[in-house]
Amino acid sequence: MSVLLSLRNVSVDLGATRALADASLEVAPGEVIALLGPNGAGKTTLLRAVLGLVAALGEIKLGDASPQTLSARERALRAAYLPQRPQAIWPISVEALVALGRFAHGAAPDRLRMQDQHAVDDAIEACALGPLRQRRMDEISGGEKARAHLARALAQHAPLLLLDEPTAGLDPAQALGVADVLRAQAENGGSVIFSTHDIALAADVANRVLLMKSGRIIAQGAPTAALTPDALREAYGRPARLERVGSSFAAIFER
């Protein structure tokens, strides 16, 4: 599958509001794409449209098929979705939660085949959850919960990861750990689209960024090409610039 996702002139209306307007995007294996923009820019709506979770105008294809024509299982085999602040307060172990990612493959926490267990183990290791694997989800911190949900998405072994603010609420070290996971997904031939408010992290980890405002993509490309002072000011309404600091980036906003 040479193209994992394509959007052509996709628009979404939520009530009387056009939450996404004429969005076009093509995603190939090996890419990490960051969605940036202020609150209400349309980032979450774009991710949900990809999976057919909201009605959309235009053309969307997951691989070679529209998400609307795919069964839930078929969609899950093509794309794994992690929404904002996923909830799991059930008294199940971290390992059992991660194993839920294997449902699309016909498995469940109490019926894991060898390949399923390997997928769960690899995801737990990738998200540095080894010491927590037998801890209950209702007994760990918010940041640890977030990493467990990311591991669940990884265990799904879908070629495309759709992550809505996966680093929200994480401390800097944990956020960098998530960035490493995203890079590894791309290096292994998959792709990632993630939304974030962390401009510096997006510039560090993404091959391409989409800067959004009021439902529209106002700039896209490599971080240093797309995140110009003019584009940042248009998106956020304040003078801003992206600067390289050592091997990383910093986003500087002026008062």
Q: Is the distance from CB of 147 to CB of 120 less than 8 angstroms?
A: no
Helix axis angle for 172-187 and 142-155, nearest 10°, is 10
106 contacts 68 by C-beta, under 8 angstroms: no
pLDDT the model gives residue 1: 52
User: Tens digit of pLDDT for each residue in 116-164?
Assistant: 999 999 999 999 999 999 999 989 998 899 999 999 999 999 999 999 9
Residue range 79-125, pLDDT digits in tens = 999 998 777 667 899 999 999 999 999 988 888 999 999 999 999 99
pTM of the complete model: 0.94
Look at residue 78 in the predicted model and tell me its pLDDT. 96
Q: Report the C-alpha gap between 35 and 226 in whole angstroms.
A: 12
Joined together, the tokens standing for residue 110 give 């109490």
Highest-confidence segment of 5-9, 63-67, 251-255:
5-9
